[in-house]
A and B are shown apart, each in its own frame.
Chain A
Amino acid sequence: MNFTHLSLSITDFHVALGVCLFTLGTLGFLTRRSGIIVLMSLELMLNGVNLCLVAFAHMHGNPEGSSLFLFIVLVAAAEAAVALSLLVALFRKTGSVYLDDLRRLRG
């Protein structure tokens, strides 16, 4: 890569931040054992992607991207509610939210 004419715009920072969030989320998702934290990491990944979406929408001066973001947040909130209630149900059934304990589907 060529770093000689490196000039950073505001978009670059936002995208960089989004990538960081996504990577952190991925690491959390892959390594943490508690179901709740895994869910939180998942949200982090989603929001990293969302940040990139907004940044690119701003770069192109296109308001549709920003409005799409609002919808995504809405859906994500609903999805988080479902996921959390699943976790609660799991906890009631098995007494644990640790993913290592939930491997009953192993053949």
Chain B
Amino acid sequence: MILLWILLLPVCGALLNGICIRSKNAALSGTIGTLAVLGSFILSLKVVLSGEDISYLAFNWIEAGTIHIPFTLETTVVTKIMMLVVTGIGTLIHLYSVSYMSHDKSPWRFFAYLNLFLAAMLTLILSGNLVGIFMGWEGVGLCSYLLIGFWYDKDANAAAGMKAFLTNRVGDLGFIVALMLLVTYAGTTQISELLPKIASNEIPGWVLTAAAFGFFWASTGKSAQIPLYTWLPDAMAGPTPVSALIHAATMVTSGIFLTTRAWPLFADQPDVLNSMLWIGTATAWLAALIALTQRDIKKVLAYSTVSQLGFMFAALGAGSPAGAMFHVVTHACFKALLFLGAGSVIHGMHEEQDLFKMGGLRKHMTWTHLTFLIGTLAIIGFPLTSGFFSKDYILAKAFEKGPLFYVLLLSAALLTAFYMLRCYALAFWGEARSDHAKHAHESSPVLLLPLVLLAILSLAVGFLETPTIFGDVHLFQRWIESSWGGWQPAKHGEHMSHATEWMLVGVTTVLSLCVAAYSFARYKAFKAGPECAPGGWRRLSLNKFYIDELYGEMFIRPLKLLSRLSNKFIDGTLINGGVHLLRDGARGTGSLLSVFHTGNVQTYAWYLAIGTALALATGVWFIQ
């Protein structure tokens, strides 16, 4: 029952804000929204602290012949972690939005959507049934669409929302196919029933492989991996708190959550895992390369998010859901922090997002600067921050899988260090490069409080899982590995030696810090110069390797052509032609017959006379 309330509180908030009150006062609607999520957070905390796994049958949802789909809410360890992340960071971001959206025309709409998003996300997390997860999956997609296009009077924003929604639909196809396969061959979509069946080999192997690929395909959509990642950078058109909550901290990690939740389905599928590893690594690389030259502060962070999601998928592919989930949690903290910091900067700069027009902001925005610095250090893996531990964990797993992946991921991490320090230095150091930057102002305390709390979290959460050489805490691994009922992952190989661990950590840290220092020195005193009109590889990177254009030529143009053709021939010629034929036929017959309709009463009298005469003649002829 308590789980149902966790779910229903945001729903209540959304209804209250969106339908009942509709207040233009951001403080009022913001308070309602924040309290609803805070309530969910407190209840979640209660569930987590009680330490028990709960399973709650809300109602029997779909009963059709042999298909039996109940609506259940269940907690396992993965669920609890995600629940805390979503409601906890959700609360902070709601609080932040109260100040951030205070000048908006319709804050009630914003908070209603945001609460609705949390309800959908919690459905996704808590549902014990894959169909319920799918409902949440679609729900977060819808809210993402609504919030990206929140300022819908700008065409670009509406288009970005549409792009996100449609790209996700392409991915969702995989989810639907996987669901159908499981319903047909496994007879259940209830995760707690599915996992034992997988363990006891009751389901044909190809079904599992196909279903795992289907879920992975869906995840590439929702979690922005190659080939479906292009929507996420465009999604930055939404308000900054939305970018922080949905497009960095929570929704985009649902692919990783799904994989971890149903890990036994993936664990014995080497093909699926290998494609995850390759795609994750490639995404981490590609997105990091694009992030190197972006000018929009939010675009840098967006590509950084794509890149970090690539790290998480690489961890899954290397067979470590614990590493992926650990990075999900740390990333949620520091990326939310970075986005909120960027929002504070944008706010202080009067909606200016161009890094080349910032500079010297550290003098005007002390707290934003400090917290953004902490976020930057965390994401590049500065020793003892949260990103240090989680990235190190993933790199160690990649090293176990093969040195090639280690090198690739390490270089992606170095790129991260470069572009993050570039972003930080461009925004906060050097001379002010525009009037807005000269007169930037610090944001209000309501806006800064979440920043400070998230900064503390970004520093602290890393200590939940530390390598042997740093105290040997393995909470995460223990937690995650206890979340599949009786199913246990196969233990593999001996543990890494201390020397290897030291070496990996040392190499990663030293190289990252060198790159970071180089980047900082390079952009510390940046003056508008050749980079403003880049050439060569920089232009390639700035234009995102023309992937959007490529997709446009490959998919969108043929699709548009097909639509035009079908509009012209199927709709125009075939359907319209048929209807017009009927119409012309009726009209022709009518005009032919209307010759007899003269309107003159005597004509009708003639018809009557002739008719009567004919009838009489026929009658007489028959009688004789």
Residues of A whose CB lies within 8 Å of any CB of B are 26, 29-31, 33, 38, 99-100, 102-107
User: B601 contacts A99, CB within 8 Å?
Assistant: yes
A-chain residues with CB within 8 Å of residue B201 when the two chains form the complex:
none
**Interchain CA distance A107-B600 in the complex, whole Å:** 11
**Interchain CA distance A104-B597 in the complex, whole Å:** 11
Closest to A42 in B: B605
User: A106 contacts B609, CB within 8 Å?
Assistant: no
User: B602 contacts A99, CB within 8 Å?
Assistant: yes
User: A103 contacts B599, CB within 8 Å?
Assistant: yes
Interface string of B8-20 (1 = CB under 8 A from A): 0000000000000
**Interchain CA distance A33-B600 in the complex, whole Å:** 10
A-chain residues with CB within 8 Å of residue B606 when the two chains form the complex:
30
**Interchain CA distance A8-B594 in the complex, whole Å:** 49
User: B599 contacts A38, CB within 8 Å?
Assistant: no
Residue B497 at the chain A interface, CB threshold 8 Å = no
A88 to nearest B CB, angstroms?
Answer: 17
Interface string of B577-605 (1 = CB under 8 A from A): 00000000000000000100111111001
Residues of B whose CB lies within 8 Å of any CB of A are 594, 597-602, 605-606, 609
A-chain residues with CB within 8 Å of residue B594 when the two chains form the complex:
107
- Please report the number of residue pairs spanning A and B whose Cβ atoms sit closer than 8 angstroms: 28
- Can you show 22 pairs from A to B with CB atoms below 8 A apart? A29-B602, A29-B605, A30-B602, A30-B605, A30-B606, A30-B609, A31-B602, A33-B602, A38-B602, A99-B600, A99-B601, A99-B602, A100-B600, A102-B600, A102-B601, A103-B599, A103-B600, A104-B599, A105-B599, A106-B600, A107-B594, A107-B597
A-chain residues with CB within 8 Å of residue B601 when the two chains form the complex:
99, 102
B603 to nearest A CB, angstroms?
Answer: 9
B-chain residues with CB within 8 Å of residue A29 when the two chains form the complex:
602, 605
B565 to nearest A CB, angstroms?
Answer: 42
B-chain residues with CB within 8 Å of residue A99 when the two chains form the complex:
600-602
**Interchain CA distance A102-B605 in the complex, whole Å:** 15
**Interchain CA distance A99-B413 in the complex, whole Å:** 99
**Interchain CA distance A30-B606 in the complex, whole Å:** 6
B141 to nearest A CB, angstroms?
Answer: 57
A-chain residues with CB within 8 Å of residue B600 when the two chains form the complex:
99-100, 102-103, 106
A-chain residues with CB within 8 Å of residue B609 when the two chains form the complex:
26, 30
Closest to B600 in A: A103
A-chain residues with CB within 8 Å of residue B602 when the two chains form the complex:
29-31, 33, 38, 99
A-chain residues with CB within 8 Å of residue B597 when the two chains form the complex:
106-107
B-chain residues with CB within 8 Å of residue A30 when the two chains form the complex:
602, 605-606, 609
User: A106 contacts B598, CB within 8 Å?
Assistant: yes
Extra contacts besides A30-B606, A99-B602 (4): CB < 8 Å: A26-B609, A102-B601, A103-B598, A107-B597
A-chain residues with CB within 8 Å of residue B599 when the two chains form the complex:
103-107
**Interchain CA distance A33-B601 in the complex, whole Å:** 10
B-chain residues with CB within 8 Å of residue A31 when the two chains form the complex:
602
A90 to nearest B CB, angstroms?
Answer: 12
Closest to B601 in A: A99
B570 to nearest A CB, angstroms?
Answer: 36
**Interchain CA distance A104-B598 in the complex, whole Å:** 9
**Interchain CA distance A100-B601 in the complex, whole Å:** 9
A61 to nearest B CB, angstroms?
Answer: 28
Closest to A27 in B: B609
**Interchain CA distance A104-B606 in the complex, whole Å:** 19
**Interchain CA distance A104-B601 in the complex, whole Å:** 11
**Interchain CA distance A42-B313 in the complex, whole Å:** 100
**Interchain CA distance A104-B605 in the complex, whole Å:** 17
**Interchain CA distance A12-B605 in the complex, whole Å:** 29
B-chain residues with CB within 8 Å of residue A26 when the two chains form the complex:
609
B602 to nearest A CB, angstroms?
Answer: 6
B-chain residues with CB within 8 Å of residue A103 when the two chains form the complex:
598-600
A49 to nearest B CB, angstroms?
Answer: 13
B-chain residues with CB within 8 Å of residue A105 when the two chains form the complex:
599
B187 to nearest A CB, angstroms?
Answer: 67
Closest to A101 in B: B600
B-chain residues with CB within 8 Å of residue A107 when the two chains form the complex:
594, 597, 599
**Interchain CA distance A99-B599 in the complex, whole Å:** 10
A-chain residues with CB within 8 Å of residue B605 when the two chains form the complex:
29-30
**Interchain CA distance A102-B600 in the complex, whole Å:** 7
Q: Lowest 5 A-B CB distances belong to which pairs?
A: A106-B599, A103-B599, A105-B599, A103-B600, A107-B597
B-chain residues with CB within 8 Å of residue A33 when the two chains form the complex:
602
B-chain residues with CB within 8 Å of residue A106 when the two chains form the complex:
597-600
A86 to nearest B CB, angstroms?
Answer: 12
**Interchain CA distance A62-B600 in the complex, whole Å:** 42
**Interchain CA distance A99-B604 in the complex, whole Å:** 12
**Interchain CA distance A104-B599 in the complex, whole Å:** 6
A77 to nearest B CB, angstroms?
Answer: 22
B421 to nearest A CB, angstroms?
Answer: 84
**Interchain CA distance A103-B600 in the complex, whole Å:** 5
B610 to nearest A CB, angstroms?
Answer: 10
B604 to nearest A CB, angstroms?
Answer: 10
